[in-house]
Amino acid sequence: MLLYSLTLVVSALFGGVAAYTTPVEAPKTDDHWAVLIAGSSGYGNYRHQADVCHAYHVMINGGISAEKIIVLAVDDIANNRENPFPGKIFNKPTPAGTPGVDVYEGCIIDYSGKDVTPDTFAKVLTGDSSGLVGVGSGKVLGSTSNDRVFVNFVDHGGVGLIGFPSGMVMHSKELIAALTTMHTNSMYKELVFYLEACESGSMFEGVLDDSMSIYATTASNAKESSWGTYCSGDDAKVDGKAINSCLGDLYSVNWMEDQDSIADSETLDEQFTTVKQLTDKSHVMQYGDVSFTSEPTSNFEGKTDKVAAKPVKKDSSLPSRDAEIASAYMRFMATGEDTAAEDLIRGVQERQRAKRRFSAITSAVAAGVSLPEHDLKLHLDCHFAAHKEYVAKCGGWDSGALPYSATLAQLCAHTGGQPSTIVAAIDSACAA
């Protein structure tokens, strides 16, 4: 009954319409590069790899060459034994009798399995080929100051954090450092970053310098969940078969289905407005340099002449951090498989363990004082120090703990940006 109640969350309201500006002429496609990453593993996170493989085809269909697209994904979904369509992945439902579009077909993955790490991602972005010798395909960005770069990251997140497999995370400070290195080394003319994760706005809020020619949009603001979609009922079926996991993420499928359907004249700002209106469960945000958002999306996502119906509202969405555990529950109820049961038990245990830990940490630091709500202003160095201590002493950020990265932000505000008492509380809580 608890999981059913997740679908009753009240939708967020949106407003604002961007002004239309005549787009500039699109560059040749050999000036385009793309980095696409799904930072999760496990069948409960089916949607992330589905999103990224769909994004790959958006780039290919748009004219970007495969040599200039770099994909990171664990690659454990298509041939997962719980997949009712072995060797295939779908990002959109279809009714019985209608085959779905297999986005896994032709999706070339450069870094998979244990190679999907924050370190690999940073090296790909900064063009550090020497650091990836013998790792995956070894491909890194070879872009120059004349080139445009598109980055799409899809996974779980928390305040100041984006997730990777096995509890690994990348902190906002580390991501901004990689982007700063790219800027310093003149690795792009303009860069667009689309980020799908809970509290994804916190990765850029107040820390992305608008002088670096980087435009970023995020699935949510700095203190709310993003949402999975195509999660239940007929919306989670392909050709009449239940996938038993969300097929996509709401923000991600909205921008990709829009890109699949648009004429060449849509600008980045127009796409942002469209996606913001369609993503009615969270606040889609934009950050950084908005001076070039009058350019067409084809400058970054490829150029397409494909015409299709405009995307429709998705009615079977779930908060992203609940989608994985909901998938485990659906799979267990449908199949009784041990794997699904283990995923469900682990998910509940992770949540309860994190709840206990952060209750203890908060009590030790705040001593009964009620903490104000996270105000979006991140004490970056304090938060980074607390994050590093949590990783060192608590074993990393699992999906149950990630929401509590907001608690670290609140505690840093409480201490005026001083991490020492927080670090000590983390040591004590995780030693217990």
- Report in angstroms the alpha-carbon separations of 417 from 86, 231, 327, 420, 425: 50, 40, 38, 9, 15
Evaluated on CA atoms 223, 236, 254, 300, the torsion sign reads positive
Of residues 57, 156, 387, 414, which has the active-site annotation? 156
Helices first, then strands: H and E counts in the chain: 11, 14
Q: Buried (b) or exposed (e) across 328-355, using 16+ Cβ within 10 A? A: bbbbbeeeebebbeebbebbeebbeebe
Burial of residue 14 (CB within 10 Å: 0-12, 13-18, 19+) is middle
Kindly give the pairing relationship between strand 237-238 and strand 241-242.
antiparallel
Which strands sit side by side in the sheet containing 161-163, from one edge to the other? Answer: 157-158, 161-163, 169-171
- Report in angstroms the alpha-carbon separations of 418 from 351, 360, 365, 411: 27, 18, 11, 9
User: CA–CA separation, 102 vs 94, rounded Å?
Assistant: 11
> Of 307, 317, 165, whose CA–CA distance to 251 is shortest?
317
User: CA–CA separation, 186 vs 407, rounded Å?
Assistant: 37
Q: What are phi and psi of 285, to 5 degrees?
A: -120, 160
In the annotation, is 156 catalytic? yes
Of residues 53, 198, 246, 412, which has the active-site annotation? 198
Burial of residue 138 (CB within 10 Å: 0-12, 13-18, 19+) is middle
User: CA–CA separation, 243 vs 90, rounded Å?
Assistant: 9
Looking at residue 77, what DSSP letter applies? S
Which residues, 6 or more positions from 137, have their beta carbon under 8 angstroms from its beta carbon?
A: 70, 110, 111
> Of 316, 38, 7, 26, whose CA–CA distance to 153 is shortest?
38
420, 382 Cβ separation under 8 angstroms: no
Query: Which active-site residues does the annotation give?
Result: 156, 198
